[in-house]
Amino acid sequence: MKTHVLFNLFATFLLADGLNIEDSAGQFFSSGHTNNWAVLVCTSRFWFNYRHVANTLSVYRSVKRLGIPDSHIVLMLADDMACNHRNPKPATVFSHKNMELNVYGDDVEVDYRGYEVTVENFLRVLTGRLPPSTPRSKRLLSDDRSNILIYLTGHGGNGFLKFQDSEEISNVELADAFEQMWQKRRYNELLFIIDTCQGASMYERFYSPNLMALASSQVGEDSLSHQPDLAIGVHLMDRYTFYLLEFLEDIHPASKANMNDLFKVCPKSQCVSTPGHRTDLFLRDPGSVLITDFFGSVRKVEITTEAIDLTDPIKEVEERPANGDIHKEMHSYVDQLPVSEIIHQKPKQKDWHPPDGFILGLWTLILLVFFQTYGVKHLRHIF
């Protein structure tokens, strides 16, 4: 008797659900991306930059856990900390003191290692201009439906990031690289995270659409490291990435956390520096963007026994933006993005200099007075 009731309930439930499948089919394509890629770069070498490698490996670990496979991750590490002669625990890279979390593990796949991590290789990976002999694991094979996560860490300054203690990439180069990616339809949306000193300067120059950027510190601020480990003898993580990792540990593939939560990671009280973000080039509302859109590779799967008729075009279910006032159009490739309308850049405050002519005139006056007072005959003594 009971089973009958249950069966009936189940059947009605399915039936009711089945009636909505076709409607909800439209929801499947609301985010616009079909695959996820991640490019994780650590640009520093030397033993005392252990924390940069640990940063990158922590993000790698989170990204893998949330579903992006190694074939879709390009991991670039500039130095080998696990096998460094100074590592008292060889084959490990710890991200938490007291050696709680070994982020090196057994299944780390490093694509660019050591001296292969250069500005040229990084830009070639982004733009896809690699020699034909490059193996697949070293390529970013994204298409126009890929969401890409780019994470950079190392030593940086106002407008540049240092690679390997010998060269730099500037924010202008980076912005141009992203523009090349946009024009070659190599991404659908791109999330750029940078954890260096004065990191916000690196995203100042972006001008391509669908870019969202986060940085660990503003211009003029230094990003600080989190904690030293007394047994290993170096700092293990940077603060911003440490709290980012803590935040990501709570994210699972089905979580609905959105970008606004990510912007709140590591406030000034914890990070000492002020993290910044930039969303004016991003055409969706950040509150509607899930963390897993970039950090995980989440396939929307819904099991149904019904057959769905897909002959008619599916109507996309558009989510109303939260504030509801401005409805941004979805731009496709062929439409040129009116960049100047979107980018609001504060005019840089220039230091006031007196005009050049004024200084010249002032010196001429001084010289004239001098020679008049002392007479021209004294010129002989000087020359």
CB of 50 to other proteins, least distance (A): 10
Tell me: does residue 84 bind other proteins (CB under 8 A): yes
Q: Which amino acid is at 326?
A: I
Retrieve residue 370's tokens. Answer: 């001098």
For other proteins, the binding residue among 85, 256, 320, 381 (CB under 8 A) is 85
CB of 98 to other proteins, least distance (A): 12
**According to CB under 8 A, which residues from 33 to 62 bind other proteins?**
46-48
CB of 94 to other proteins, least distance (A): 14
CB of 44 to other proteins, least distance (A): 12
Tell me: does residue 86 bind other proteins (CB under 8 A): yes
Residue 101 CA, chain-centre distance (Å), reads 23
Tell me: does residue 90 bind other proteins (CB under 8 A): yes
**According to CB under 8 A, which residues from 200 to 239 bind other proteins?**
230-231, 233-234
Between 88 and 354, CB nearer to other proteins: 88
Q: What is the CA radius of gyration of the chain?
A: 27
Distance CA(226)–CA(238), nearest Å, equals 5
Between 80 and 144, CB nearer to other proteins: 80
Between 83 and 339, CB nearer to other proteins: 83
Q: Distance of CA 339 to CAs 202, 252, 284, 357, Å?
A: 18, 35, 16, 37
Distance CA(6)–CA(363), nearest Å, equals 99
CB of 234 to other proteins, least distance (A): 8
Q: Which amino acid is at 296?
A: G
Between 1 and 382, CB nearer to other proteins: 382
Q: Does the CA dihedral 102-108-110-114 come out positive or negative?
A: positive
Tell me: does residue 267 bind other proteins (CB under 8 A): no
Given a contact cutoff of 8 angstroms between Cβ atoms, the answer to whether 126 and 39 are in contact is yes
Tell me: does residue 382 bind other proteins (CB under 8 A): no
Between 91 and 339, CB nearer to other proteins: 91
For other proteins, the binding residue among 31, 87, 147, 241 (CB under 8 A) is 87
Between 224 and 234, CB nearer to other proteins: 234
Given a contact cutoff of 8 angstroms between Cβ atoms, the answer to whether 196 and 153 are in contact is yes
**Which residue bears the tokens 């001084």?**
366
Q: Which residues of 253-287 are buried (b: 16+ CB within 10 A; e: fewer)?
A: eebebbbebbbebbeeeebebebbbbbebbbbbbe
Count of residues in contact with other proteins, rule CB under 8 A? 14
Tell me: does residue 253 bind other proteins (CB under 8 A): no
Instruction: From 4-12, 86-94, 126-134, 289-297, give the range in contact with other proteins by CB under 8 A.
Output: 86-94
Active-site residue list:
155, 197
Question: 153: number of CA atoms within 13 Å, CB side?
Answer: 31
Between 83 and 366, CB nearer to other proteins: 83
Retrieve residue 371's tokens. Answer: 């020679």
Task: Report strand pairing: 35-42 vs 73-77.
Answer: parallel
How would you list the strands of the sheet with 276-278, edge to edge?
112-113, 73-77, 35-42, 146-153, 189-195, 211-215, 276-278
CB of 222 to other proteins, least distance (A): 19
Tell me: does residue 91 bind other proteins (CB under 8 A): no
Distance CA(156)–CA(174), nearest Å, equals 13
Instruction: From 85-93, 219-227, 309-317, 335-343, give the range in contact with other proteins by CB under 8 A.
Output: 85-93
Retrieve residue 9's tokens. Answer: 């309930």
Tell me: does residue 88 bind other proteins (CB under 8 A): yes
CB of 236 to other proteins, least distance (A): 15
Residue ranges in contact with other proteins by CB under 8 A: 46-48, 83-88, 90, 230-231, 233-234
